[in-house]
Structure 1
């Protein structure tokens, strides 16, 4: 277990749709990533994985069922991973990896969902987030079943050379003035030297 690992956080809060988005509770949204290996990579293959971790009010993992990865989705289908892409290619204009969320189905005790991105096998291949070209995070409103892009931001420019993982964004439950729940998505650039450091912070390991 990794303890007290330093992390770097840069939060975009410019009030622009590219940095933060608000969703009412009965929303169907998608959080996706796209990438390709850059010429500086020590290997032509870069395998980037997208995760979702639902947190309680103490900022710790709500339950293992809400630790979402390419081989696991929430049992009630409130948060569903679209599957693994190990190359970042051949997705015909779609996101290389994506997680769909039906916000009204998420357990009401969940306070926040964070979205880590990790390079699989980074230490073995000598890779870091700077080895990735054209990597971006995209938020889609799936309400009409076709998908409307509401935000898109590049991630790689905000990575340090030591970063192999990053929490790219968070979706937090909050109250509107009328007392109704809504979800607030913010794009973050919180880098970690290992995925284990991120998992430790959120109580997964």
Structure 2
């Protein structure tokens, strides 16, 4: 539709020149956008965010924390899942990653996302606020997972579910030891203030580890 608009207004080339872009720059930007769309479509098929949210009970109005949100792939799915009456607190220790989320939040007008800068052992999420927490493709990279889980506890409402979605080393080709086995995740959780309630295995490469605080 934007392309059609450009044609209606005049030559695309003239418009690009007026914007101070070379044709090569325009082609590069279009290629990057196309590649990003392809990568997201491929990731959608592998990670099935809508199915994941349905499986763990994401509902409109929820306040959800996401630890290790990165550039926000899952964050924006969660924001859609909780709707206008809910909110997603996107945590990371990387300021540039959070800045990327903030730019996309502004460009797509998604008001129900708030970024939170944390540390390696404390996500710094709001106290007593969260109905659910996600850790998507980040658990295997946590430097101090047991300590971080302990510092997460004050942010949870009673009975809050923590969803750890991580690739299973035994089901991930060419992982070269980067990802954790199910047994390794269970061992880490066993040393923490949480207990594992169940494990969902319907995704091709990932496990969903469902945790709750120990009583």
Return the structure number with greater relative CO, CA threshold 8 A, min gap 6.
Answer: 1
Larger radius of gyration: 2
Higher helix share: 2
Shared fold per TM-score greater than 0.5 = no
TM-score of the superposed pair, with normalisation by structure 1: 0.29
